Amino acid sequence: MELTLDNIWAILMENAKQIAAITEERKKEAEERKKEAEERKHAGKKQRLRRSRRTQKQPKNTKTLARSEEKQPKNTKTFAEAENAESEGEKRRRTRKTCWGRRAKKAAEEREKAREKDLQANNRMLKELGRKIAELGDVLGLYAEAQVRERIKHLFDKRGIHLDSVMYHYQQETKNGEFLYEIDILLVNSEYAVITEVKNQLKKDDVDEHIARMEKCTITPPKGAKDKILLGCIGAMIVSPEVETYAKRQGFYLLKPSGESVKMANPANFKHKEWHVIT
pLDDT score at 29: 76
Q: Could you tell me if residue 202 is inside a domain?
A: yes
Query: CATH no. for residue 247?
Result: 3.40.1350
pLDDT(73) > 70: no
Task: Identify the weakest region by mean pLDDT among 63-72, 111-120, 231-240, 257-266.
Answer: 63-72
Q: What is the pLDDT of residues 106-146, one digit of tens each?
A: 777 887 778 777 777 777 777 776 666 665 555 566 667 78
Q: Which residues fall within 8 angstroms of residue 59, CB to CB, at 6 or more apart? A: 65, 68
Question: From residue 214, how far is each of 138, 171, 175, 222, 239 by CA, in Å?
Answer: 25, 14, 19, 10, 21
Decide which of 113, 138, 163 is a domain's last residue.
Answer: 138
Tell me the C-alpha distance between 188 and 194, whole Å: 6
Note the pLDDT of residue 21.
Answer: 72
Q: Is the pLDDT of residue 65 over 80?
A: no
Q: Is the pLDDT of residue 148 over 60?
A: yes
User: d(Cα 44, Cα 101) in Å, to the nearest integer?
Assistant: 12
Instruction: Find, among 257, 211, 255, the residue nearest to 234 by Cα.
Output: 255
Whole-number pLDDT of residue 32: 79
Let me know the angle formed at the C-alpha of 225 by 221 and 227, rounded to the nearest 5 degrees: 105
Mean per-residue pLDDT of the chain = 80
Return the closest-CA partner of residue 199 out of 258, 254, 263: 254
Question: Mean pLDDT, to the nearest integer, of 230-243?
Answer: 94
Within this chain, do residues 81 and 193 fall inside the same structural domain, yes or no? Answer: no
Q: In sequence order, which residues have a C-beta less than 8 Å from that of residue 68 and are 6 or more positions away?
A: 59
Q: Percent of the chain, pLDDT > 90?
A: 39
Mapped onto helix, strand or coil, the DSSP state of residue 203 is coil
Of the candidates 227, 224, 150, 145, the residue with the CA atom closest to the CA atom of residue 188:
224
The domain tally of the chain equals 2
Of the candidate ranges 13-17, 184-188, 228-232, 272-276, the one whose mean pLDDT is the lowest? 13-17
Structure confidence at residue 209 as a pLDDT band (50, 70, 90)? very high
pLDDT at 235: 93
Percent of the chain predicted with pLDDT > 70:
72
More confident residue, 27 or 202: 202
Tell whether the model's pLDDT for residue 88 goes beyond 80.
Answer: no
Q: What is the mean pLDDT of residues 40-69?
A: 64
* Within a domain: 144: no
Residue 143 domain-assigned (yes or no): no
Domain boundary among 138, 164, 181: 138
Pair type for strands 192-202 and 261-264: unpaired
Q: How far apart are CA 156 and CA 43, in angstroms?
A: 74
Q: How far apart are CA 248 and CA 271, in angstroms?
A: 9
Q: Tell whether 125 is covered by a domain.
A: yes
Position 119 scores a pLDDT of 74
Domain extent, residue 51, equals 5-138
Q: Which amino acid is at 10?
A: A
The reply to whether 94 and 217 lie within a common domain is no
* pLDDT tens, position by position, 164-186: 999 999 999 988 889 999 999 99
DSSP type of residue 60: S
**Pairwise pLDDT comparison (162 vs 12), residue with the higher score:** 162
pLDDT given at position 45: 73
pLDDT confidence of residue 240 = 93
